[in-house]
Structure 1
């Protein structure tokens, strides 16, 4: 059952969820390169960020987040960096997917971030997860389709469409190097989208 949140509280909940998502993003980005000590700090941070927002989530989402944290701990104990990254990025998705109401930066932008990070985690796995990459590419295309008509900056639109096409072609060719480059470009464009929407909200 979903929770009913008074409208005047939605902004505060959204702020907490997005703030809690940041450590999950950081863990995803650093899972493969962090030292054991750094990794331990990052894992501790996701636990600390998740605990206060559990009550802000619907029951199913709260359980999903708990499951992802358990997966992170299990993968950390096994020093399985790819599984850490994948569990972390799914935790990130759970949090940003539960942002509600109208916000300055549409949640689809954060979900494009999720798709790019998931693809990179799939690429860095011991055995490249091509089927999952295909899913993430479709997910990214669909999320972009939901917001592309809200972007009036034609260069950003053109660049994002080109990046998604580049990713699709690289995946079809199973070219890991090209796909890593294309997904990095997509992630850079997500930053541009965040800036674009934030400026548009401030100007309105």
Structure 2
């Protein structure tokens, strides 16, 4: 006679929660304390971000100073500074197009069809040239804008993407060098990695 093994029924959701978080009195107490702390922090965050926040600029700076929550009105008042920095007002469309160029360049770099040396070099070369032309100008009838006026989202995106482009391959190379069988290579690489890792970010900036 052939024996048939039947799997035990899956525990219900409530039973599973009891088993995970309330199996013992100590575990139940810790779970309740953790839940209370999370609820308290969530309420504090909501109160700061929404209920006690200032969203309009009608009250002026005094309203933000008197508020117990976030001052979101600064975004409405300074959104151009945040997005475009000191870039000239009449040329800010160029900074917006430069952001689009960086995003398109990044999206194309993530597509397997462009994962060849020639294609990825073409994408990054054309994208960087287009970004620089839009931001700096001086060609094709675009007004010249010095680097001291660059800023905002366009510059932040470009620096971030460029850092990733340089940082990822460099990190892989350093990781491979650290695993080298030659002691002087692995130790030297380890010293470089540990030294950079130990530096505070503010000192690097």
Task: Please say which structure displays the higher CA radius of gyration.
Answer: 2
TM-score, normalization by structure 2: 0.29
Structure scoring higher RCO (CA < 8 A, sep ≥ 6) equals 1
Could you say which structure has the higher helix fraction? 1
